[in-house]
Amino acid sequence: MSRGADALTFSEATSAEAFAERFSAQNDPSARLISAVVCHLHDLIKEFRPTQDQWRKVIDFLTEVGHAADERRQEWVLLSDLTGASALVEDINSRRPAGATPNTIRGPFFRADAPERQSGSTISLDGLGEPLIVEGRVVDLDGEPVPGAEVITWQANAQGFYENQQPDLQPEFNLRGLFRTDAGGRFDYRSVRPAGYSVPQDGPVGRLLADAGYPLHRPAHLHFLIRAPGFETITTHIYDAGDPRLAEDALFGVRPELVHSFEQTVLDGEPASRVSVSFVMVRARPGRGK
């Protein structure tokens, strides 16, 4: 008897099973995930019972998301980020012991080619904004320093924009840099105090969530990516404790241990801020650390 004769007859009662049956021979984890997503989608359709016009609006939204994605902008990533899906995947895949620095999502503005800079130098190439002194230390779970660790940092400027958002207004690699920890696991540099910002609302994802009253603000923060041989790579944020919108982070990245006070100080006779941070790395396990 042919496979066609054995196949389930498609109906409201059997729709998910009829689709899954065609994926039964797939051993790829991604294919199994897609199969599960489709089955859940069938369940949602049965629960909400949309009309053809309502379902067409869903398809039109997804089509617009695809049209808004290109080499400079990834609207699908924005959708994943703003729905908390990216944060959930990161949380599942980077569970660490108590005391270790948690991972957060990298976000869309990371550049892998940040230039290496000397400790104590500035990453603010235009000097616009309130000066900020960043003092950091990288240690392991026992509190021992991790010398020679690479510390990549990037941030928005005092108006809430990243350098690659404003290529005509900010110098290349503004507010970006790669530093290496010394024998004591320390690094420091100068910057400017970043501002919080709203995520893009000029695309289909931002418009949809804004119309629903969804908070689309990101509190002021610094990004860090820290890597060292034999340790799991850390990708994380440091948040400004003085930002009033910490509880509304659109990307679900705020953790209590990542919130730090930006203390007032003086630098070269001018008002400035200072923040001191410690990052705790975990020894890499097989298949982890990248």
Cα distance between residue 41 and residue 171, in whole Å = 46
Q: Which of 211, 178, 184 is nearest to 57 (CA)?
A: 211
| Residues with active-site annotation | 162, 197, 218, 221, 223
Cα distance between residue 116 and residue 16, in whole Å = 52
Cα distance between residue 101 and residue 111, in whole Å = 22
Q: Which of 230, 258, 231 is nearest to 246 (CA)?
A: 258
Torsion of CA 146, 150, 156, 157, to 10 degrees: 90
Buried b (16+ CB within 10 A) or exposed e, 171-194: eebbbbbbbbbeeebbbbbbbbbb
